Structure 1
Protein backbone atom coordinates (compact mmCIF):
# COMPACT_ATOMS: atom_id res chain seq x y z
CA UNK A 1 0.00 0.00 0.00
CA UNK A 2 1.14 3.55 -0.75
CA UNK A 3 -0.36 6.73 0.73
CA UNK A 4 0.13 10.26 -0.65
CA UNK A 5 -0.90 13.31 1.39
CA UNK A 6 -1.13 17.09 0.93
CA UNK A 7 -0.69 19.59 3.75
CA UNK A 8 -3.46 21.72 2.22
CA UNK A 9 -6.42 20.53 4.27
CA UNK A 10 -4.43 17.51 5.56
CA UNK A 11 -5.73 15.84 2.42
CA UNK A 12 -5.45 12.25 1.21
CA UNK A 13 -4.45 12.59 -2.44
CA UNK A 14 -3.76 8.96 -3.33
CA UNK A 15 -4.15 5.48 -1.84
CA UNK A 16 -2.56 2.79 -4.00
CA UNK A 17 -3.41 -0.83 -3.15
CA UNK A 18 -3.05 -4.20 -4.93
CA UNK A 19 -6.08 -5.85 -6.49
CA UNK A 20 -6.58 -9.63 -6.54
CA UNK A 21 -4.14 -9.92 -9.47
CA UNK A 22 -1.49 -7.86 -7.69
CA UNK A 23 -2.00 -4.84 -9.95
CA UNK A 24 -1.48 -1.61 -8.01
CA UNK A 25 -4.59 0.59 -8.17
CA UNK A 26 -5.25 4.12 -6.93
CA UNK A 27 -8.59 3.98 -5.10
CA UNK A 28 -8.78 7.64 -3.97
CA UNK A 29 -10.28 10.50 -5.96
CA UNK A 30 -8.27 13.68 -6.30
CA UNK A 31 -6.83 16.34 -8.59
CA UNK A 32 -3.61 17.04 -10.48
CA UNK A 33 -3.17 20.67 -9.39
CA UNK A 34 -3.20 22.43 -6.01
CA UNK A 35 -5.52 25.09 -7.46
CA UNK A 36 -8.17 22.43 -8.04
CA UNK A 37 -8.04 21.48 -4.36
CA UNK A 38 -8.33 25.13 -3.37
CA UNK A 39 -11.46 25.53 -5.53
CA UNK A 40 -12.99 22.17 -4.63
CA UNK A 41 -16.32 22.68 -2.85
CA UNK A 42 -16.67 19.01 -1.86
CA UNK A 43 -13.42 18.82 0.16
CA UNK A 44 -12.41 15.61 -1.63
CA UNK A 45 -10.03 13.66 0.61
CA UNK A 46 -9.65 16.54 3.07
CA UNK A 47 -9.90 16.71 6.85
CA UNK A 48 -13.26 18.23 7.81
CA UNK A 49 -13.94 20.48 10.76
CA UNK A 50 -14.21 21.82 13.27
CA UNK A 51 -17.34 19.63 13.05
CA UNK A 52 -18.01 16.97 10.40
CA UNK A 53 -21.62 16.73 9.24
CA UNK A 54 -24.49 19.19 9.49
CA UNK A 55 -25.46 21.52 12.31
CA UNK A 56 -29.12 22.41 11.97
CA UNK A 57 -29.95 26.05 11.22
CA UNK A 58 -26.23 26.91 11.62
CA UNK A 59 -26.59 27.46 15.35
CA UNK A 60 -25.79 25.59 18.52
CA UNK A 61 -25.93 26.18 22.27
CA UNK A 62 -22.92 25.46 24.46
CA UNK A 63 -23.34 25.88 28.22
CA UNK A 64 -26.54 27.89 27.68
CA UNK A 65 -24.89 30.30 25.24
CA UNK A 66 -26.03 30.27 21.62
CA UNK A 67 -23.50 30.49 18.80
CA UNK A 68 -24.34 31.35 15.19
CA UNK A 69 -22.18 29.50 12.68
CA UNK A 70 -21.54 30.30 9.03
CA UNK A 71 -24.36 28.78 6.91
CA UNK A 72 -22.91 27.06 3.85
CA UNK A 73 -25.64 24.45 3.25
CA UNK A 74 -28.54 26.87 3.51
CA UNK A 75 -29.85 27.24 6.11
CA UNK A 76 -27.50 24.76 7.82
CA UNK A 77 -23.79 24.63 8.64
CA UNK A 78 -21.85 21.75 7.10
CA UNK A 79 -18.38 20.30 7.59
CA UNK A 80 -16.88 23.34 9.30
CA UNK A 81 -18.05 26.06 6.90
CA UNK A 82 -16.82 27.43 3.59
CA UNK A 83 -14.60 30.49 4.10
CA UNK A 84 -11.92 29.11 6.42
CA UNK A 85 -12.67 25.50 7.44
CA UNK A 86 -9.94 23.03 8.34
CA UNK A 87 -10.19 21.54 4.84
CA UNK A 88 -8.88 24.79 3.30
CA UNK A 89 -6.11 25.59 5.79
CA UNK A 90 -2.42 24.93 5.15
CA UNK A 91 -1.32 22.59 7.95
CA UNK A 92 2.12 22.24 9.51
CA UNK A 93 3.48 18.71 9.27
CA UNK A 94 6.17 16.40 10.62
CA UNK A 95 7.24 13.18 8.92
CA UNK A 96 7.77 10.18 11.21
CA UNK A 97 11.39 9.07 11.47
CA UNK A 98 10.66 5.55 10.21
CA UNK A 99 8.84 6.89 7.14
CA UNK A 100 5.57 5.20 8.08
CA UNK A 101 3.44 8.32 8.38
CA UNK A 102 2.94 12.01 8.98
CA UNK A 103 1.56 14.25 11.72
CA UNK A 104 -0.37 17.38 10.71
CA UNK A 105 -1.27 20.26 13.02
CA UNK A 106 -3.19 23.52 12.57
CA UNK A 107 -4.77 26.26 14.67
CA UNK A 108 -8.41 27.30 14.43
CA UNK A 109 -8.93 30.71 15.98
CA UNK A 110 -11.78 32.01 18.12
CA UNK A 111 -14.66 33.16 15.92
CA UNK A 112 -13.66 31.36 12.73
CA UNK A 113 -16.82 30.19 11.00
CA UNK A 114 -18.62 31.23 14.21
CA UNK A 115 -16.98 28.65 16.49
CA UNK A 116 -15.90 29.73 19.99
CA UNK A 117 -12.42 29.34 21.44
CA UNK A 118 -8.91 28.85 20.09
CA UNK A 119 -8.32 25.22 19.12
CA UNK A 120 -5.19 23.34 18.11
CA UNK A 121 -6.01 20.33 15.94
CA UNK A 122 -3.63 17.45 15.21
CA UNK A 123 -4.15 14.60 12.74
CA UNK A 124 -1.77 11.71 12.16
CA UNK A 125 -1.77 9.18 9.31
CA UNK A 126 0.30 6.01 9.80
CA UNK A 127 0.71 3.03 7.45
CA UNK A 128 1.15 -0.40 9.01
CA UNK A 129 2.61 -3.64 7.63
CA UNK A 130 -0.93 -5.05 7.45
CA UNK A 131 -2.20 -2.68 4.73
CA UNK A 132 -3.82 -0.48 7.37
CA UNK A 133 -4.09 3.29 7.62
CA UNK A 134 -4.33 4.44 11.23
CA UNK A 135 -5.81 7.92 11.60
CA UNK A 136 -5.79 9.76 14.93
CA UNK A 137 -7.49 13.11 15.47
CA UNK A 138 -6.95 15.22 18.56
CA UNK A 139 -7.97 18.73 19.59
CA UNK A 140 -6.90 20.75 22.62
CA UNK A 141 -8.64 23.58 24.47
CA UNK A 142 -12.00 22.69 23.03
CA UNK A 143 -15.54 22.62 24.38
CA UNK A 144 -16.78 19.07 23.88
CA UNK A 145 -20.25 19.19 22.33
CA UNK A 146 -22.86 16.93 23.99
CA UNK A 147 -23.92 13.69 22.41
CA UNK A 148 -27.43 12.27 22.42
CA UNK A 149 -28.32 9.36 24.70
CA UNK A 150 -31.35 8.17 22.83
CA UNK A 151 -31.39 4.76 21.15
CA UNK A 152 -29.02 4.89 18.16
CA UNK A 153 -30.56 4.20 14.77
CA UNK A 154 -29.61 4.55 11.10
CA UNK A 155 -30.41 7.98 9.72
CA UNK A 156 -30.96 8.42 6.00
CA UNK A 157 -30.93 11.28 3.54
CA UNK A 158 -32.21 10.28 0.12
CA UNK A 159 -31.56 12.12 -3.10
CA UNK A 160 -32.66 11.14 -6.58
CA UNK A 161 -30.01 8.80 -7.96
CA UNK A 162 -27.91 8.69 -4.80
CA UNK A 163 -27.93 7.98 -1.10
CA UNK A 164 -26.30 9.41 2.00
CA UNK A 165 -26.79 7.30 5.11
CA UNK A 166 -25.53 7.74 8.64
CA UNK A 167 -25.18 4.51 10.61
CA UNK A 168 -24.96 5.04 14.37
CA UNK A 169 -23.89 2.67 17.11
CA UNK A 170 -24.07 2.53 20.89
CA UNK A 171 -22.74 5.92 22.10
CA UNK A 172 -22.09 4.61 25.63
CA UNK A 173 -19.51 2.23 24.13
CA UNK A 174 -17.97 4.45 21.43
CA UNK A 175 -17.93 7.68 23.41
CA UNK A 176 -16.01 6.44 26.42
CA UNK A 177 -13.80 3.78 24.90
CA UNK A 178 -10.55 4.19 22.99
CA UNK A 179 -10.88 0.68 21.59
CA UNK A 180 -11.57 0.27 17.88
CA UNK A 181 -15.01 -1.00 16.92
CA UNK A 182 -15.53 -2.48 13.45
CA UNK A 183 -18.10 -0.30 11.69
CA UNK A 184 -18.36 -1.26 8.04
CA UNK A 185 -16.93 -3.51 5.32
CA UNK A 186 -17.15 -2.84 1.58
CA UNK A 187 -15.73 -5.18 -1.06
CA UNK A 188 -15.55 -5.33 -4.86
CA UNK A 189 -16.26 -8.62 -6.61
CA UNK A 190 -14.60 -7.25 -9.75
CA UNK A 191 -11.25 -6.15 -8.30
CA UNK A 192 -11.15 -8.17 -5.10
CA UNK A 193 -10.27 -5.01 -3.17
CA UNK A 194 -11.70 -5.06 0.33
CA UNK A 195 -12.16 -2.10 2.72
CA UNK A 196 -12.76 -2.43 6.46
CA UNK A 197 -13.27 0.61 8.70
CA UNK A 198 -13.00 0.61 12.50
CA UNK A 199 -13.31 3.66 14.74
CA UNK A 200 -13.85 4.98 18.26
CA UNK A 201 -16.52 7.33 16.89
CA UNK A 202 -20.26 6.74 17.27
CA UNK A 203 -21.33 6.96 13.62
CA UNK A 204 -20.17 6.42 10.06
CA UNK A 205 -21.59 8.23 7.03
CA UNK A 206 -21.83 6.40 3.70
CA UNK A 207 -22.37 8.66 0.68
CA UNK A 208 -22.47 7.46 -2.92
CA UNK A 209 -21.02 10.52 -4.63
CA UNK A 210 -24.10 12.11 -6.20
CA UNK A 211 -22.42 15.55 -6.20
CA UNK A 212 -19.43 14.39 -8.25
CA UNK A 213 -21.10 15.05 -11.62
CA UNK A 214 -18.89 16.93 -14.07
CA UNK A 215 -15.79 17.24 -11.86
CA UNK A 216 -12.44 16.79 -13.63
CA UNK A 217 -10.08 14.73 -11.50
CA UNK A 218 -6.65 13.13 -11.71
CA UNK A 219 -5.19 12.53 -15.18
CA UNK A 220 -8.05 14.54 -16.68
CA UNK A 221 -10.64 11.91 -15.81
CA UNK A 222 -14.20 13.17 -15.52
CA UNK A 223 -15.88 12.02 -12.33
CA UNK A 224 -19.57 11.20 -12.61
CA UNK A 225 -22.38 10.89 -10.09
CA UNK A 226 -22.13 7.70 -8.04
CA UNK A 227 -18.70 6.88 -9.50
CA UNK A 228 -17.22 6.64 -5.99
CA UNK A 229 -18.26 6.48 -2.36
CA UNK A 230 -17.07 8.14 0.82
CA UNK A 231 -17.00 6.82 4.38
CA UNK A 232 -16.73 9.38 7.15
CA UNK A 233 -16.52 8.48 10.83
CA UNK A 234 -18.16 11.14 12.98
CA UNK A 235 -20.21 11.92 16.06
CA UNK A 236 -24.01 12.02 15.96
CA UNK A 237 -25.38 14.41 13.35
CA UNK A 238 -26.38 17.77 14.86
CA UNK A 239 -25.43 16.47 18.33
CA UNK A 240 -25.11 19.95 19.81
CA UNK A 241 -28.82 20.62 19.19
CA UNK A 242 -30.17 17.33 20.50
CA UNK A 243 -31.73 16.80 23.93
CA UNK A 244 -29.38 15.07 26.36
CA UNK A 245 -30.90 12.18 28.28
CA UNK A 246 -28.11 11.68 30.83
CA UNK A 247 -25.16 13.51 32.34
CA UNK A 248 -23.61 16.49 30.62
CA UNK A 249 -20.17 16.12 29.10
CA UNK A 250 -19.00 19.67 28.43
CA UNK A 251 -15.25 19.81 28.95
CA UNK A 252 -12.94 22.79 28.77
CA UNK A 253 -9.20 23.06 28.27
CA UNK A 254 -8.50 19.40 27.74
CA UNK A 255 -7.45 17.15 24.90
CA UNK A 256 -10.10 15.21 22.97
CA UNK A 257 -8.92 12.28 20.83
CA UNK A 258 -10.66 10.14 18.19
CA UNK A 259 -9.21 7.15 16.31
CA UNK A 260 -10.01 5.57 12.93
CA UNK A 261 -8.53 2.52 11.23
CA UNK A 262 -8.90 1.50 7.57
CA UNK A 263 -7.58 -1.62 5.94
Structure 2
Protein backbone atom coordinates (compact mmCIF):
# COMPACT_ATOMS: atom_id res chain seq x y z
CA UNK A 1 0.00 0.00 0.00
CA UNK A 2 1.11 3.54 -0.81
CA UNK A 3 -0.28 6.66 0.89
CA UNK A 4 -0.28 10.38 0.14
CA UNK A 5 -1.88 13.24 2.11
CA UNK A 6 -2.03 16.83 0.90
CA UNK A 7 -1.94 20.08 2.88
CA UNK A 8 -5.74 20.07 3.25
CA UNK A 9 -5.89 16.58 4.71
CA UNK A 10 -7.17 14.84 1.60
CA UNK A 11 -5.68 11.34 1.58
CA UNK A 12 -5.30 8.74 -1.17
CA UNK A 13 -4.19 5.13 -0.80
CA UNK A 14 -3.20 2.70 -3.53
CA UNK A 15 -2.27 -0.95 -3.75
CA UNK A 16 0.06 -2.54 -6.31
CA UNK A 17 -2.44 -5.23 -7.32
CA UNK A 18 -4.10 -3.71 -10.34
CA UNK A 19 -2.45 -0.30 -9.75
CA UNK A 20 -5.60 0.29 -7.73
CA UNK A 21 -6.94 3.37 -5.95
CA UNK A 22 -8.20 1.77 -2.74
CA UNK A 23 -9.15 4.83 -0.65
CA UNK A 24 -9.82 8.51 -1.29
CA UNK A 25 -10.71 10.63 1.74
CA UNK A 26 -12.23 13.96 0.67
CA UNK A 27 -13.49 16.86 2.85
CA UNK A 28 -17.12 18.02 2.80
CA UNK A 29 -18.31 21.62 3.23
CA UNK A 30 -17.62 21.38 6.98
CA UNK A 31 -14.15 19.96 6.45
CA UNK A 32 -15.16 16.44 7.52
CA UNK A 33 -13.41 13.68 5.59
CA UNK A 34 -15.13 10.68 4.03
CA UNK A 35 -13.77 7.88 1.88
CA UNK A 36 -15.62 8.29 -1.43
CA UNK A 37 -14.42 5.20 -3.36
CA UNK A 38 -15.45 1.57 -3.02
CA UNK A 39 -12.90 -1.09 -2.15
CA UNK A 40 -11.76 -3.71 0.35
CA UNK A 41 -9.80 -3.81 3.59
CA UNK A 42 -7.44 -6.56 2.46
CA UNK A 43 -5.96 -8.24 -0.60
CA UNK A 44 -8.32 -11.20 -0.19
CA UNK A 45 -11.23 -8.91 -0.99
CA UNK A 46 -9.61 -7.69 -4.19
CA UNK A 47 -8.83 -11.30 -5.19
CA UNK A 48 -12.40 -12.46 -4.53
CA UNK A 49 -15.50 -12.62 -6.69
CA UNK A 50 -16.85 -9.64 -4.74
CA UNK A 51 -14.44 -7.38 -6.61
CA UNK A 52 -15.97 -5.85 -9.72
CA UNK A 53 -12.92 -3.88 -10.86
CA UNK A 54 -13.06 -1.54 -7.84
CA UNK A 55 -10.55 1.28 -8.30
CA UNK A 56 -8.28 -0.64 -10.66
CA UNK A 57 -6.36 0.21 -13.79
CA UNK A 58 -8.35 -1.51 -16.52
CA UNK A 59 -6.78 -2.91 -19.68
CA UNK A 60 -5.20 -3.82 -21.97
CA UNK A 61 -8.50 -2.87 -23.53
CA UNK A 62 -11.11 -1.40 -21.19
CA UNK A 63 -14.77 -1.87 -22.04
CA UNK A 64 -16.17 -4.32 -24.60
CA UNK A 65 -14.96 -5.87 -27.83
CA UNK A 66 -17.58 -7.71 -29.89
CA UNK A 67 -17.10 -11.48 -29.63
CA UNK A 68 -13.56 -10.77 -28.43
CA UNK A 69 -12.37 -10.51 -32.03
CA UNK A 70 -10.43 -7.89 -33.93
CA UNK A 71 -8.17 -7.74 -36.98
CA UNK A 72 -4.94 -5.76 -37.07
CA UNK A 73 -2.68 -5.56 -40.13
CA UNK A 74 -4.51 -8.50 -41.66
CA UNK A 75 -4.05 -10.76 -38.63
CA UNK A 76 -7.13 -12.01 -36.74
CA UNK A 77 -7.00 -12.11 -32.95
CA UNK A 78 -9.34 -13.90 -30.56
CA UNK A 79 -9.48 -12.54 -27.00
CA UNK A 80 -11.16 -14.09 -23.98
CA UNK A 81 -14.95 -14.09 -24.02
CA UNK A 82 -15.87 -13.09 -20.47
CA UNK A 83 -19.00 -10.92 -20.77
CA UNK A 84 -21.68 -13.01 -22.40
CA UNK A 85 -20.38 -13.61 -25.94
CA UNK A 86 -18.05 -10.60 -25.77
CA UNK A 87 -14.72 -9.48 -24.31
CA UNK A 88 -14.63 -7.08 -21.34
CA UNK A 89 -11.84 -5.17 -19.57
CA UNK A 90 -8.77 -7.02 -20.78
CA UNK A 91 -9.52 -10.67 -20.09
CA UNK A 92 -9.92 -13.35 -17.44
CA UNK A 93 -6.65 -14.21 -15.71
CA UNK A 94 -3.90 -11.69 -16.59
CA UNK A 95 -5.81 -8.49 -17.27
CA UNK A 96 -4.17 -5.41 -15.80
CA UNK A 97 -6.50 -5.32 -12.78
CA UNK A 98 -5.35 -8.79 -11.65
CA UNK A 99 -1.56 -8.47 -11.88
CA UNK A 100 0.87 -6.95 -9.39
CA UNK A 101 2.56 -3.81 -10.71
CA UNK A 102 5.98 -2.45 -9.79
CA UNK A 103 5.52 0.69 -7.71
CA UNK A 104 7.50 3.64 -6.42
CA UNK A 105 6.47 6.56 -4.24
CA UNK A 106 6.99 9.87 -6.03
CA UNK A 107 9.77 12.04 -4.61
CA UNK A 108 8.96 15.28 -6.46
CA UNK A 109 5.19 15.22 -5.85
CA UNK A 110 2.53 13.51 -3.74
CA UNK A 111 1.64 10.20 -5.29
CA UNK A 112 2.83 6.93 -6.74
CA UNK A 113 3.98 5.57 -10.11
CA UNK A 114 3.11 2.04 -11.20
CA UNK A 115 4.80 0.10 -14.02
CA UNK A 116 3.84 -3.17 -15.68
CA UNK A 117 5.30 -5.03 -18.66
CA UNK A 118 2.67 -7.19 -20.33
CA UNK A 119 4.40 -9.79 -22.51
CA UNK A 120 3.54 -10.44 -26.13
CA UNK A 121 0.50 -12.72 -26.25
CA UNK A 122 -0.71 -12.09 -22.72
CA UNK A 123 -4.49 -12.52 -22.85
CA UNK A 124 -3.88 -12.96 -26.62
CA UNK A 125 -3.02 -9.30 -27.18
CA UNK A 126 -0.12 -8.76 -29.59
CA UNK A 127 3.07 -6.99 -28.58
CA UNK A 128 5.02 -6.51 -25.37
CA UNK A 129 3.29 -3.53 -23.78
CA UNK A 130 5.17 -1.41 -21.23
CA UNK A 131 2.77 0.74 -19.22
CA UNK A 132 3.17 3.35 -16.49
CA UNK A 133 0.33 4.82 -14.47
CA UNK A 134 1.17 7.86 -12.35
CA UNK A 135 -1.23 9.08 -9.67
CA UNK A 136 -0.60 12.60 -8.35
CA UNK A 137 -2.46 14.22 -5.46
CA UNK A 138 -2.37 18.01 -5.60
CA UNK A 139 -2.77 20.55 -2.81
CA UNK A 140 -5.94 21.90 -4.44
CA UNK A 141 -7.66 18.53 -3.88
CA UNK A 142 -7.29 17.02 -7.34
CA UNK A 143 -6.26 13.46 -8.16
CA UNK A 144 -4.48 13.30 -11.50
CA UNK A 145 -3.89 10.04 -13.39
CA UNK A 146 -1.37 9.95 -16.26
CA UNK A 147 -1.03 6.86 -18.43
CA UNK A 148 1.81 6.10 -20.85
CA UNK A 149 2.42 2.94 -22.85
CA UNK A 150 4.72 1.70 -25.60
CA UNK A 151 4.76 -1.51 -27.61
CA UNK A 152 7.27 -3.51 -29.65
CA UNK A 153 4.71 -4.55 -32.29
CA UNK A 154 1.33 -3.19 -33.46
CA UNK A 155 -1.39 -3.66 -30.86
CA UNK A 156 -4.58 -2.11 -29.52
CA UNK A 157 -4.98 -0.26 -26.25
CA UNK A 158 -7.65 1.47 -24.16
CA UNK A 159 -6.87 2.16 -20.50
CA UNK A 160 -9.03 3.65 -17.78
CA UNK A 161 -9.50 3.83 -14.02
CA UNK A 162 -12.53 1.92 -12.76
CA UNK A 163 -13.19 3.68 -9.45
CA UNK A 164 -16.72 3.51 -8.10
CA UNK A 165 -17.63 6.80 -6.38
CA UNK A 166 -20.19 7.83 -3.81
CA UNK A 167 -19.59 11.42 -2.73
CA UNK A 168 -21.60 10.89 0.46
CA UNK A 169 -19.20 8.11 1.46
CA UNK A 170 -18.52 4.63 0.12
CA UNK A 171 -21.14 2.90 2.27
CA UNK A 172 -24.04 5.17 1.35
CA UNK A 173 -26.87 3.09 -0.20
CA UNK A 174 -27.48 5.02 -3.42
CA UNK A 175 -26.37 7.87 -5.66
CA UNK A 176 -29.75 8.76 -7.17
CA UNK A 177 -29.75 12.22 -5.52
CA UNK A 178 -26.28 13.04 -6.83
CA UNK A 179 -26.56 15.74 -9.48
CA UNK A 180 -24.64 15.13 -12.69
CA UNK A 181 -23.60 17.13 -15.72
CA UNK A 182 -21.81 15.54 -18.70
CA UNK A 183 -20.61 17.68 -21.60
CA UNK A 184 -21.78 15.29 -24.31
CA UNK A 185 -24.36 15.81 -27.06
CA UNK A 186 -24.28 12.15 -28.15
CA UNK A 187 -23.75 8.60 -26.94
CA UNK A 188 -22.59 5.60 -28.92
CA UNK A 189 -25.73 3.58 -29.68
CA UNK A 190 -25.52 -0.06 -28.53
CA UNK A 191 -27.32 -3.34 -29.10
CA UNK A 192 -28.84 -5.60 -26.44
CA UNK A 193 -25.35 -6.83 -25.47
CA UNK A 194 -24.01 -3.26 -24.97
CA UNK A 195 -21.93 -3.50 -28.15
CA UNK A 196 -21.83 -0.32 -30.27
CA UNK A 197 -23.76 -0.44 -33.52
CA UNK A 198 -21.47 2.18 -35.05
CA UNK A 199 -24.21 4.80 -34.89
CA UNK A 200 -24.45 7.83 -32.62
CA UNK A 201 -27.56 8.81 -30.68
CA UNK A 202 -28.38 12.43 -29.90
CA UNK A 203 -29.12 12.72 -26.19
CA UNK A 204 -31.74 15.49 -26.55
CA UNK A 205 -35.09 14.31 -25.21
CA UNK A 206 -33.66 11.04 -23.82
CA UNK A 207 -32.65 9.80 -20.34
CA UNK A 208 -29.02 10.26 -21.47
CA UNK A 209 -29.26 14.06 -21.59
CA UNK A 210 -27.04 15.36 -18.78
CA UNK A 211 -25.96 18.51 -20.60
CA UNK A 212 -27.79 20.43 -17.87
CA UNK A 213 -27.06 19.23 -14.35
CA UNK A 214 -29.82 17.19 -12.72
CA UNK A 215 -30.38 14.17 -10.46
CA UNK A 216 -28.98 10.87 -11.66
CA UNK A 217 -32.22 9.26 -10.52
CA UNK A 218 -34.59 11.48 -12.49
CA UNK A 219 -35.00 9.11 -15.45
CA UNK A 220 -32.95 6.08 -14.51
CA UNK A 221 -36.00 3.82 -14.22
CA UNK A 222 -36.75 4.31 -17.91
CA UNK A 223 -33.61 2.38 -18.85
CA UNK A 224 -32.94 0.33 -15.71
CA UNK A 225 -29.52 1.87 -15.11
CA UNK A 226 -26.72 3.62 -16.95
CA UNK A 227 -23.80 1.83 -18.60
CA UNK A 228 -23.16 3.92 -21.68
CA UNK A 229 -20.32 5.65 -23.49
CA UNK A 230 -20.84 9.40 -23.76
CA UNK A 231 -19.17 11.11 -26.71
CA UNK A 232 -17.59 14.06 -24.98
CA UNK A 233 -17.51 17.46 -26.63
CA UNK A 234 -14.20 19.13 -27.42
CA UNK A 235 -11.05 17.98 -29.14
CA UNK A 236 -9.68 14.51 -28.45
CA UNK A 237 -6.12 15.00 -27.19
CA UNK A 238 -6.99 18.29 -25.50
CA UNK A 239 -7.42 18.24 -21.73
CA UNK A 240 -10.84 19.70 -20.86
CA UNK A 241 -13.52 19.38 -18.19
CA UNK A 242 -16.19 16.92 -19.32
CA UNK A 243 -18.30 16.20 -16.23
CA UNK A 244 -19.32 17.48 -12.81
CA UNK A 245 -21.06 15.67 -9.96
CA UNK A 246 -22.57 17.33 -6.86
CA UNK A 247 -23.70 15.55 -3.69
CA UNK A 248 -26.13 18.07 -2.11
CA UNK A 249 -26.03 16.87 1.51
CA UNK A 250 -22.25 16.91 1.99
CA UNK A 251 -21.64 19.66 -0.55
CA UNK A 252 -18.88 17.64 -2.23
CA UNK A 253 -18.26 18.33 -5.90
CA UNK A 254 -16.23 16.18 -8.26
CA UNK A 255 -15.15 17.59 -11.63
CA UNK A 256 -13.73 15.26 -14.27
CA UNK A 257 -11.26 16.35 -16.94
CA UNK A 258 -9.68 14.25 -19.68
CA UNK A 259 -8.08 14.28 -23.10
CA UNK A 260 -10.02 11.20 -24.21
CA UNK A 261 -12.97 11.14 -26.65
CA UNK A 262 -15.40 9.31 -24.34
CA UNK A 263 -16.48 8.64 -20.79
CA UNK A 264 -18.34 5.52 -19.70
CA UNK A 265 -21.07 6.45 -17.22
CA UNK A 266 -21.99 3.43 -15.10
CA UNK A 267 -24.38 3.29 -12.14
CA UNK A 268 -23.12 0.05 -10.58
CA UNK A 269 -26.04 -1.96 -11.90
CA UNK A 270 -24.13 -5.21 -11.36
CA UNK A 271 -23.44 -4.83 -7.64
CA UNK A 272 -25.44 -7.11 -5.39
CA UNK A 273 -24.73 -6.05 -1.81
CA UNK A 274 -21.25 -7.55 -1.47
CA UNK A 275 -19.40 -6.41 1.62
CA UNK A 276 -16.52 -3.96 1.21
CA UNK A 277 -14.45 -1.76 3.49
CA UNK A 278 -15.58 -1.76 7.10
CA UNK A 279 -18.34 -4.25 6.28
CA UNK A 280 -20.22 -1.74 4.11
CA UNK A 281 -22.70 -3.29 1.70
CA UNK A 282 -22.14 -2.21 -1.91
CA UNK A 283 -25.55 -2.17 -3.56
CA UNK A 284 -26.93 -1.70 -7.03
CA UNK A 285 -26.89 2.01 -7.90
CA UNK A 286 -25.05 2.75 -4.69
CA UNK A 287 -22.13 4.24 -6.61
CA UNK A 288 -21.19 5.51 -10.03
CA UNK A 289 -18.23 5.36 -12.41
CA UNK A 290 -17.05 7.99 -14.87
CA UNK A 291 -14.39 6.12 -16.83
CA UNK A 292 -12.53 8.32 -19.32
CA UNK A 293 -11.47 6.28 -22.37
CA UNK A 294 -11.76 5.56 -26.06
CA UNK A 295 -15.04 4.16 -27.38
CA UNK A 296 -16.00 0.51 -26.74
CA UNK A 297 -15.34 -1.90 -29.63
CA UNK A 298 -13.21 0.76 -31.33
CA UNK A 299 -11.00 -1.83 -33.11
CA UNK A 300 -14.07 -3.03 -35.04
CA UNK A 301 -15.65 0.37 -35.75
CA UNK A 302 -13.93 2.33 -38.56
CA UNK A 303 -15.83 5.53 -37.67
CA UNK A 304 -14.52 5.51 -34.07
CA UNK A 305 -11.18 6.98 -32.96
CA UNK A 306 -8.37 4.52 -33.57
CA UNK A 307 -7.28 2.27 -30.71
CA UNK A 308 -4.12 1.13 -32.51
CA UNK A 309 -0.67 1.63 -31.01
CA UNK A 310 2.48 1.25 -33.14
CA UNK A 311 6.10 0.71 -32.03
CA UNK A 312 7.01 4.28 -33.03
CA UNK A 313 4.21 5.78 -30.90
CA UNK A 314 3.49 6.42 -27.22
CA UNK A 315 -0.02 6.04 -25.84
CA UNK A 316 -0.89 8.89 -23.49
CA UNK A 317 -4.03 9.53 -21.50
CA UNK A 318 -4.74 11.96 -18.66
CA UNK A 319 -7.72 11.94 -16.31
CA UNK A 320 -8.24 14.37 -13.41
CA UNK A 321 -10.79 13.97 -10.61
CA UNK A 322 -10.88 17.39 -8.92
CA UNK A 323 -12.82 17.92 -5.69
CA UNK A 324 -14.43 21.02 -4.24
CA UNK A 325 -17.42 21.97 -2.09
CA UNK A 326 -20.54 24.03 -2.57
Q: CA deviation at 1:189?
A: 0.8
Would the alpha carbon gap of residues 170 and 99 (structure 1) be closer, same or farther in structure 2, given more than 3 Å must change?
closer
Q: Which whole-Å deviations, capped at 9, do the CAs of 1:67-117 have from their partners, x for residues lacking one?
A: 100111121110101111000000001111145011000111111111011
- 1:61-210 to structure 2, matched below 5 A, reads 61-98=71-108, 100-141=110-151, 143=154, 145=156, 153-155=186-188, 161-169=224-232, 173-174=235-236, 177=237, 179-210=238-269
Would the alpha carbon gap of residues 20 and 71 (structure 1) be closer, same or farther in structure 2, given more than 3 Å must change?
same
1:33 equivalent to 2:25? Answer no
Q: Distance in 2 between matches of 1:3 and 1:138?
A: 21
Would the alpha carbon gap of residues 129 and 250 (structure 1) be closer, same or farther in structure 2, given more than 3 Å must change?
closer
Would the alpha carbon gap of residues 250 and 80 (structure 1) be closer, same or farther in structure 2, given more than 3 Å must change?
closer
User: What secondary structure does 1:196 align onto?
Assistant: strand
User: What secondary structure does 2:34 align onto?
Assistant: strand
Identify which range, 197-206 or 156-165, moves more after superposition: 156-165
Count of aligned residue pairs for this structure pair = 255
User: What secondary structure does 2:44 align onto?
Assistant: helix
Q: Distance in 2 between matches of 1:217 and 1:239?
A: 33
Q: Distance in 1 between matches of 2:134 and 2:283?
A: 31
Would the alpha carbon gap of residues 118 and 245 (structure 1) be closer, same or farther in structure 2, given more than 3 Å must change?
closer
Q: Distance in 2 between matches of 1:234 and 1:64?
A: 25
Q: Distance in 2 between matches of 1:246 and 1:26?
A: 35
User: What secondary structure does 1:257 align onto?
Assistant: strand
The answer to whether the 8 A contact 2:61-2:157 is kept is no
Q: Distance in 2 between matches of 1:100 and 1:139?
A: 22
Would the alpha carbon gap of residues 210 and 23 (structure 1) be closer, same or farther in structure 2, given more than 3 Å must change?
same
Identify which range, 31-40 or 200-209, moves more after superposition: 31-40
C-alpha RMSD of matched pairs (Å): 2.4
Segments of structure 2 that go 5 or more residues without pairing to the other structure are 1-9, 159-184, 195-219
Q: CA deviation at 1:164?
A: 1.1
Q: TM-score, normalised by structure 1?
A: 0.90
Would the alpha carbon gap of residues 240 and 163 (structure 1) be closer, same or farther in structure 2, given more than 3 Å must change?
same
1:222 equivalent to 2:257? Answer no
Corresponding residue for residue 54 of structure 1: 64
Of 248, 272, 295, 1:213 maps to: 272
Q: CA deviation at 1:145?
A: 4.2
Q: TM-score, normalised by structure 2?
A: 0.73
The answer to whether the 8 A contact 1:146-1:239 is kept is no
Q: Distance in 2 between matches of 1:259 and 1:97?
A: 20
